[in-house]
Structure 1
Amino acid sequence: MISTYGFSAALTARPGMGDQLVDLLLTGLNEGSPGASEYCLVYVVSRSASDPDVVHVTEGWTSEEDHHRVFDGEAAQAIVAQIAPLLAGESEYTDHVPVGGKAAF
């Protein structure tokens, strides 16, 4: 499959809650969760090197429509509802069209 839609997000957790936010975002890879969907081709959670409460998420999807459909589901909405109380403010999103790259963990 080819990723035709993606985005990156910068989320700032309330002071000292960066670990909780990372742990919650990583549940997005659990079976039945959005990141485990066959339509999600890239799901990377990382942290700022200078501020442990700043968390970055990068996702690549087969299409924007697939992303929205999966995120309308119960599993995704449950994660989103748990994220909101951990955040210090609005998250910053940048959409993009993946053209290539590499990931190894």
Structure 2
Amino acid sequence: MISDRRTILGAGLGLCVGATACRNEDGMYGLIGKMIAKPGQRDALIAILLDGTGAMPGCRSYIVAADPADANAIWITEVWEREADHDASLQLPAVQEAIGRARPMIEGFGERFVTEPIGGVGLSS
């Protein structure tokens, strides 16, 4: 029901609501997501998320942040040249290895938002 309201409200205001609702195929691709670590595992999980992320073709920004209001929550903000670059990164050996190491430390996931980055500090428009 809330999802239906969001879709109706978003359509009425001309906002992008769904993951593909307003995506510009030529624009950058962004993700903002919340990951929940198992109790006491957040720092170890953050270390895995940061390890081996230097060589991801098409990645403009990959930020891992601890949530100051939740001792188990992590926010990950990503900017990619294209959605295909993000998808391809998931097949990289270093990323696959990190996923395998991280999986036992993950309790679950929270919000996830797809964005279309336009520019800003560190990103050329």
TM-score over 0.5 for the pair: yes
User: What TM-score do you get using the length of structure 1 for normalisation?
Assistant: 0.81
Pairwise CA RMSD: 1.9
Match of 1:5 among 29, 47, 57: 29
Between the two proteins, what is the percent identity of the paired residues?
A: 30
The list of structure 1 runs, each at least 4 consecutive aligned residues, that deviate by more than 3 angstroms after superposition, is none
Residue ranges of structure 2 left out of the alignment (5+ in a row) = 1-25
- Could you say what secondary structure the match of 2:108 adopts? coil
Please identify the structure whose Cα radius of gyration is greater.
2
Which consecutive residues of structure 1, in runs of 5 or more, have no partner in the other structure?
31-35
**1:53-98 residue CA offsets vs partner (Å, 9 max, x unmatched):** 1001101001001111121121111111122110112354211110
Q: TM-score, normalised by structure 2?
A: 0.69
Once residues 10 and 89 of structure 1 are traced to their aligned partners in structure 2, the CA distance between those partners, rounded to angstroms, is 9
Whose RCO is larger (CA < 8 A, sep 6+)? 1
Classify 1:57/1:101 alpha carbon distance in 2 versus 1 (closer, same or farther; 3 Å).
Answer: same
Q: Deviation of residue 3 (structure 1)? A: 6.2
